[in-house]
Amino acid sequence: MARKRPEDEEQDPIHRENVPGELDHASGQVDEFEAGIVSGADGEVADPATDAELARQAAAAAPAGVSVRGSAGPEKTKGGIGRFPAFVKASWAELQRVQWPDRRQVGQATAVVLGFVVIAGAYLGLADAAAQEFVDFIL
């Protein structure tokens, strides 16, 4: 009895649905991060009262005639100078939502920037000295 060779058999690719690609879900951190986005900051469910407040602030900050999703409708605002207080109020509300870095993070970021400035300065200084020597040699 002769064995069938793989070349003789009909090549039927296996069809699978909903199978992630090679790099999809390569790390559990990706899934955890996406779950955190869905459920809210730090894995906690977002507070509906906060969402309603944010929607109200967005509606108050929207230009005249522009509707904000989730708001009852466009609010009437005065043109020109009358919009400035709404801008300041919306800007203040946005600043309240900013995640400001703590002292340790600021110190680390400053050290990284200063380190790169020193490295770039040394590189450019050496390149300038080498170029100067090359120009002096030619002249």
The pLDDT tens digits for 6-35 are 555 555 556 556 666 666 556 666 666 666
pLDDT recorded at residue 16: 59
Which structural domain range is residue 125 located in?
101-139
Residues whose CB is less than 8 angstroms from the CB of residue 89 and which lie 6 or more positions away in sequence, other chains included: 57, 60, 61
Q: How many domains does the chain have?
A: 2
Do 79 and 129 share a domain, yes or no?
no
Do 45 and 91 share a domain, yes or no?
yes
In a domain, 1, yes or no: no
Write out pLDDT tens, residues 65-77. Answer: 666 555 454 555 5
Give this prediction's pTM.
Answer: 0.35
Do 127 and 107 share a domain, yes or no?
yes
Do 65 and 121 share a domain, yes or no?
no
Residue labelled with tokens 């900013």: 98
Residue 44 exposed, middle or buried by CB count within 10 Å (0-12, 13-18, 19+)? exposed
With pLDDT > 90 as the criterion, what percentage of the chain qualifies? 29
Do 37 and 47 share a domain, yes or no?
yes
Do 105 and 132 share a domain, yes or no?
yes
| H or E stretch at 107 | helix 103-138
